Every structure is written in structure tokens, then in C-alpha cells.
Amino acid sequence: MKPIRAWAAVWCLSITGAALAQGRPHVHGVAQLDIAIETGKITLQLETPLDSLLGFERAPRGVAETRRVETAVAALKAAGVLFRFTPTAGCAVASVDLSSAALKLGSPGPAEQREGHADLDATYVFNCTDVARATEVDVGLFDAFIRMQSLKVEVATAKGQFKRDLKRPSKRVSLVR
């Protein structure tokens, strides 16, 4: 019965997240992080304005901006540095997917770049040997991106959904109620 509840929570979070993404405000310095915990794995979905990562919201212009994008993309791909779960959970990075129309990454939706605002969406999947022991995650986004000031976090588990707010300089998100 528990795997079904976990799946239902993940499904609800993904449906709710897709619906909210259409109406979420685009606020510089603020990112959305959705965390879905299910049997054997944890999926994180990050949505952030490019300005929070780069200081601009368009394709890079010139060598300096191209380097800034390359540095940001490398940091975003380093999932094991950005997200560190309770060690006894035995979580390891399974996949990282980045998507941004302005940066020509992944396969972004056609409505992603609207009204001059550009975002980056990232999906991280961690396989865990004992996901029940994942009681918290240390988030390294504030260390990697100085323009990011806060995270709106939504967590979905087999036991329900809840929200957390993480503000600089805090790094730790509890994954239990």
C-alpha cells in the first residue's frame, strides 16, 4: 500500500507543479524546488529565473557571459554537491536534466520565454538504498549562486505534502513533517 501512496503523492506533486508553473510569479532571487520522495528514489525539480543564476535573462553576449553560463551549467550538473541527503539514506545521483530556451539546453516548452523573462528548469533524480533515512537535504544553491536569495520548497512523501521556505544563508531542508 505504501508504494501506491508514494506514487500518488509524486503524481499529485507533478500535476500540481505543472499547473502552478503556469501561474507562478517570476521573481528574481527566488527559486522553486519540488521534492518527491518515493520508494528507492528522490526526484527534485528546480525552477528559477535565469537572473538568479546569471544576472541576465537571455542568451549570453560575449566571452564573459558565455563563461558565466558555462560555470553555472557545470555547477547545476554537479547534483551531488548541490543536494546532499542524510548520509545513511545512501543516495547517489542517477540523472540530471537541464532545460532553458534562452541557453538552448534540453527541450523547453514553447511558452518558456515570455515577456522577456527566461527560466531554467532542472530535474535531478537520486537513487537511494534506504530512502526512509533521508530526513533532510543540505542545499548548496546559495553557495553556488550568489544572486539566489530564497527557495520555495514543496515536499511530497508517502505521508503527505508540505511546504518549506529556505532563505539565505540557511541550507538545510527537513524532509519530514
> Are the C-beta atoms of 46 and 33 separated by less than 8 Å?
yes
In this prediction, residue 165 carries a pLDDT of 95
Query: Measured between alpha carbons, how far is 149 from 29 in angstroms, rounded to an integer?
Result: 5
pTM to 2 decimal places: 0.83
Confidence of residue 7 (pLDDT cuts 50, 70, 90): very low
Tens of pLDDT, residues 58-114: 999 999 999 999 999 999 999 999 999 999 999 999 999 999 999 999 986 665 555
Tens of pLDDT, residues 109-132: 665 555 556 999 999 999 999 999
Query: Measured between alpha carbons, how far is 48 from 174 in angstroms, rounded to an integer?
Result: 21
Residue 103: how many CB atoms within 10 A of its CB? 20
How far is the CA of 132 from the CAs of 40, 74, 140, 158, 176, in angstroms? Answer: 9, 30, 22, 10, 10
Q: Which residues contact 131 (CB under 8 A, 6 or more apart)?
A: 37, 38, 39, 40, 41, 42, 89, 91
Tens of pLDDT, residues 24-60: 556 778 999 999 999 999 999 999 999 999 999 999 9
